[in-house]
Each structure stands twice: as structure tokens, then as C-alpha cells.
Structure 1
Amino acid sequence: MMISLMPSTPSAAAADTPSAGHPATVELARQHAVEVLTRAAVPSPDVDAELLLGHVLGLGRGAVQAAAITGRVLDAEERTVFAELVERRAAREPLQHITGRAAFRSMELAVGPGVFVPRPETESVVQFAIDALRAVPIPRPIGVDLGTGSGAIALAMATEVPNAAIYATENSVEAFIWARRNFAESGADNATVVFEHLADAFHELDGSVDVVISNPPYVPDDAIPRDPEVRLHDPSAALYGGPDGLDVVRHVSVTAQRLLHRGGTLIIEHGELQGQAIRELLTADGWHAAATHRDLTTRDRTTIAIR
């Protein structure tokens, strides 16, 4: 997608750009960043400006807003660093790559080049897995995350269902490095991550797993994402799933049948137009009660089936 830049008026630029000889307030820096990010078509320029300021100042977003109101002044180094970060974001580098962190449910995960940045819509997908684990009538339910990426889904299950045993697999070297770091930082001693292709994962658990979840690559090969943050920065292996986008979903179906006991639950995240195709695929594979659920934006997002 080509980004169309709208020129600002000279008076606005002069008013908003802090001069080198005069310290800028947080509010002036914020206003200027919002203008720059808006011209670059960044989707949420005000939020991103405040989060970048918070990253530079070591503050949360609310504290940045308070600093803007009270007239806090940025020193020369803070101004320089902030300007560099705004320039990177205006070039459509993902915010999470710039800050090195991604929020997911109650966690903050380490992310960067080589790993898929977890999305807000996946928070509702993992809720199905959390609910299913909590409903298992045994002291130590078992959950498996196939293709964990940063570890977001697995660690959400492990931290929010602490009596569960959670296992995750990842076969991208770059993503596995990030996952291993996040597993270590989480302190969740009930979570295990291994470097292995999901088709070969956890044979020792065959027939004993209660919940399997996966957010596989599901973008069809010829469907190029519009957003530069996705198209240019998310790893291709985490995006593209073959001609119809379902190649990895087929592997997930086979592996989950092997892992789950009868009555166990499979949960798959997918694109908004893939629900019917995935239900048909799972039903043909012998799964029961396949059903698709919408996310908070009313788009089909999650399909669940019973072993």
C-alpha cells in the first residue's frame, strides 16, 4: 500500500517543532509526534505518540498524560531519542519492535524482528482455551499451544490457569529465541516450550491432552497484507499458509487428534472468511460440533471442535 503524505502548514510545523535552543514540553513533543504520525497514516497516532514518549521517559501512558498537563520539560537527549523513535514509527516500523514490548492480556512480552507480534483479537481466542482448562474436572489439566511464536497464548494459559500444565512448540529459530525469553521472564514453572515442528510435537502426551490451541499462519499465499507493519515486518512463516491459507490448519487438525483424549477441545484462530472452510475440514477429519465464534469486532475469528 502506498502511503499518501499530507503536507502540514508552515505555521503548524513552526509551532509544533521544538527548536534546538529551547527545551520542549511533553505536550509540544506529543502534539508534533501526532502530526507526523498522522501524515504517515499510522492508525492510532495519538496512542502511539504517548506510548513512545512513555518508552523514552520510563512512564506509563497515564503518567505521560499527566506530565503533558503539568508542563514537564524534555531535556535535549530525551528530545533527540524521541524524535528518532517517531521517525521510525512514521516509516511504519511496528511500535512493538521500537519499544521491544507487546501487551497481551495481563502480560508484557518481549518481541522484535523474527517473531509475530501478538494481536488484541487473539486475547479473545485464548479466553476459550482458558475457560476450557478451568472446566476440566481434574487437578492438573493439560493444554498445548501449537506454533507458539512469542509464547503469548501459552503463557496466558499458564499464568491464568496456574494449576494447568502447559506445553508449547515452535519451529522458527528466531521466534523460538523470543519465546524462550518470554517463558523465562514469566516465571511460569507450569509452562514448557520446545523447538519442534508442530506435526511432531509431544508424542509423550498422546491421548492425554485436554485443550489444544493454535494461531497458525492462515493468510493465503496470494493475499498480501495491506498494512506495512504486517507486510514488511511480520515473518512470512507466521503469515502465509499455502494457496488457501489452510495448509498448517490441516497439520494442526491431525496433531490435535493425536494429542487430545476423547472429549478434548481444539481451538483455532483464523481469518474472518475461513470459518466455513475450517468447519468443513475439521468435520471431514472426524471432529465433532465444529463451531465458529466472532471476536469483539463481530468478525469470525475462532473455530472450536471436540475430539
Structure 2
Amino acid sequence: MKRLPLRLALLEATRTLDEAGVASPRTDAELIAAHVLGVERGRLPLVPLVDPPVVEAIRQLVAERAKRVPLQYLTGEAVVGGVSVQVGPGVFIPRPETELLLEWGLKLLKGREHPVVVDLCTGSGALALAVAEARPDAVVYAVDNDPSALAWARHNADLRAEAGDTPIRLYSGDVTDDTVFAELDGLVDLVLCNPPYVPEGTPVPPEVADYDPPHAVFAPEDGLGIIRHVVTMAARLLRPGGGVAIEHDETHAHSVPPLLEVRRVLTDVTTHKDLAGRPRFVTARRV
């Protein structure tokens, strides 16, 4: 069986995905190839030749991705902060932009021993598990109001625990309920949240429209409905010196920061840009 150049398979895959309108055709082609080969993406140059069945497996997954099936559905996982979580129908797929929010939070925790962290609207549990991975001494709480998302989060948490990683404390609850985590009021070092924030009626890519649960994507009040409650919750949960980071829509650059600025207990409100240079999340500290 004659082996074939992986480079040519990647070129074909990239062209197919580009013609299908996939936003990052080369990246997705390489991630699919890495998944099929069972290697890290950065090690693909070390695999110059592959067997024909490998090329065919790559081609089949690329064909599915060209139909705009999410890449994470095809590989069965999403990666946040170096932590891989399993995703599928019924749970929001974490995006690369959330890595920056995580980085900010971990930087805030430097020098703090046994910090308390709360991940609101946890979804797959990716953020909470990434914090627990980076800070094994942290006590990490995570909450979501959707049973399907919680099932995925529990599954991912159990997988990490079986691997010997620090467990997280997972709860069912709604951020619009002012009694959620009432026992933690004034005790939390870091609040993280990637809530539903896309304004209702906004056109979204097929990967989002056809696969992400709508209630995990869209929010009322021009996308601010859930964020308002998250701000309220963060203000009561944080201890002095603690911090909050909330992801938001790129159209919220001038509407989300004021929601935090009007809170007397919050200061140092800062807007941050995503990987594409668009305003994506806001942070603040507790006085």
C-alpha cells in the first residue's frame, strides 16, 4: 500500500472547508488530521506520509465539517486552558475567545492561597475544570440551570476526577435567583461567567444556529438580560480584592461596563478584546 503525503491531504481539506465558508479552514483541517492520527496538531510536520485509509478518514470528517457540523462534534471534545472536555448535543461548545477570560482570572489568583472560585452558567464545565487544573488548591464551584448542560458538566467532571484531577463542586441553579450561593456571599476570590449574551434575532453561523442550544446563546434585553443578574450576583459574592470577568457580545462594548460601574462595590472596570481584536469581555474588582 503506497503511502501518501499528508501535506496534499491538508491542502485538499483546506480548500474544501474554505469553499464551504468555514471561518478557519486551515486550522480545522489540521485539527481534523491531528484527531485522526492521534497526535497533537503541532506534531503534524513530523508525519510526512500517511496510509490511504488515514487520508480517507480525514476526507470523511472534512466532508462533515463542510456541512458546517461543529468541529468539536467531529472530534468529540473542546479544549479550554489545556483541559479537554467532551461536548455534544445539548451543551454550548466553548470558543477559543474564552481562553483570554480564563487567563485574566488565573492572573488575578496569583499569590492567593486556596482561592474560592465560582463559574456561573458553566455549560460543559470547561472554565471551572480549567481553573481546577491550573489551581489544584482552589475550591471551584460551578452552576447551570439546564439539566442537559449539567449532565455534560458532571460527565466531564467525573472524567477529570477519575484521572486524579481536583474535583469541582457542581450545582443546579439559576443566576436570576438571588439565593444561589448565598452561603458564599463575600467569600469568593473570582467569579467567571460566559453567559448567554447574543441579542435575540441576531444572525449566527450554522454551527451555532443548528447545534448550540438557543437558550445558551441568546438573551433578552438586547443580550443583556442574563448579564445584569450576573453583575448583581458577582457584587454580592466577591470578597474585597476579588474579581469578576464576564464575556459579552462585541456590540456590548458600551453597554456592559456601565452595568458594573454603577455598583459602588466594584472598581477598576476594564474592557478586553478577543483574539480578533473585538471587545469581548469585561472585568472588575471588589472594593
CA–CA distance in structure 2, aligned partners of residues 280 and 32 of structure 1: 48
- Distance in 1 (alpha carbons) for counterparts of 2:64 and 2:246: 34
* Distance in 1 between residues matched to 2:20 and 2:271, nearest whole Å: 36
> What residue in structure 1 maps to residue 107 of structure 2?
131
Please list, as runs of the form range in 1=range in 2, the aligned pairs for 1:77-96 lying within 5 A after superposition: 78-96=54-72
Alpha-carbon distance between aligned partners in 2 of 1:296 and 1:81, rounded to the nearest angstrom: 31
Q: Distance in 2 between matches of 1:63 and 1:291?
A: 37
Q: What is the match of residue 293 of structure 1?
A: 272
Distance 2:261 2:156 in 1: 35
**CA offset digits 1:195-234 (Å, max 9, x no partner):** 2223342222122112111111111112222x22122222
Q: Separation in 2 of the partners of 1:121 and 1:288? A: 24
Supply the AA of the counterpart residue of 1:104: V
Q: Deviations over 1:143-194 (max 9, x none)?
A: 1011111112112211112221111101112211221122222233352111
How far has the Cα of 1:28 moved from its partner? 4.2
* Structure 1 moving runs of 4+ over 6 Å: none
Write the distance in 1 (CA, Å) between the matches of 2:244 and 2:16.
Answer: 44
Contact conserved, 2:2 with 2:52, CA < 8 A, in 1? no
In 2, distance between residues paired with 1:279 and 1:62? 38
Tell me the equivalent position of 1:245.
Answer: 223
Distance 1:300 1:42 in 2: 22
**Aligned AA for 2:259?**
L
Q: Hey, what's the Cα distance between the residues in 1 that align with 2:42 and 2:108?
A: 35
Aligned partner of 1:107 in structure 2 is 83
Q: Percent identity?
A: 40
Q: Which residue of 1 aligns with 2:20?
A: 40
SS at match of 2:255: helix
1:143 aligns with 2:117: yes
How far did 1:79 drift? 5.0
The 2-side partners of 1:50 and 1:305 are apart by: 37
What is the deviation of 1:63?
A: 4.1
Indicate the residue corresponding to 1:191 in structure 2.
168
Cα distance between partner residues in 2 of 1:132 and 1:90: 40
1:276 aligned counterpart, secondary structure? coil
Q: Which stretches in structure 1 are left out of the alignment for 5+ residues? A: 1-20
Hey, what does 1:213 align to over in structure 2?
Answer: 192
C-alpha separation in 1, matches of 2:34 and 2:107: 34
Which of the numbers 204, 223, 226 marks the counterpart of 2:202?
Answer: 223
Structure 2, unaligned runs of 5 or more: none
Q: Structure 1 pair 295/29, CA: closer, same or farther in 2 (3 Å)?
A: closer
Structure 2 length normalisation: TM-score? 0.88
Which residue of 228, 248, 255 maps to 2:233? 255
Within 5 A, what are the aligned runs for 1:6-25? Answer: none
Alpha-carbon contact 2:81-2:102 (below 8 Å) kept: no
Mapped to 1, the partners of 2:254 and 2:55 lie a distance apart of 51
Q: Which amino acid aligns with 1:177?
A: A
Task: Say yes or no: does 1:59 pair with 2:35.
Answer: no
The residue matched to 1:82 in structure 2 has which SS? helix
Q: Take 1:236 and 1:182, find their aligned partners in 2: how far apart are those partners? A: 22
Deviates more, 1:26-35 or 1:196-205: 26-35
Secondary structure in 2 aligned to 1:306? Answer: strand
Is the Cα contact below 8 Å between 1:222 and 1:243 reproduced in 2? Answer: no
Question: Which deviates further from its counterpart, 211-220 or 105-114?
Answer: 105-114
Aligned amino acid, residue 203 of structure 1: A
Determine which of 179, 182, 186 is the counterpart of 2:156. Answer: 182
Aligned-residue offset at 1:36: 1.9
Q: Tell whether the 8 Å contact from 1:164 to 1:190 is kept in structure 2 after alignment.
A: no
Give me the whole-angstrom Cα distance separating, in 1, the residues matched to 2:258 and 2:6. 54
Cα distance, 1:44 vs structure 2: 2.4
RMSD: 2.3
2:134 counterpart residue number: 160
Change (3 A) 1:280 1:72: closer
Q: Any conservation in 1 of the 2:22–2:68 contact (CA below 8 Å)?
A: yes
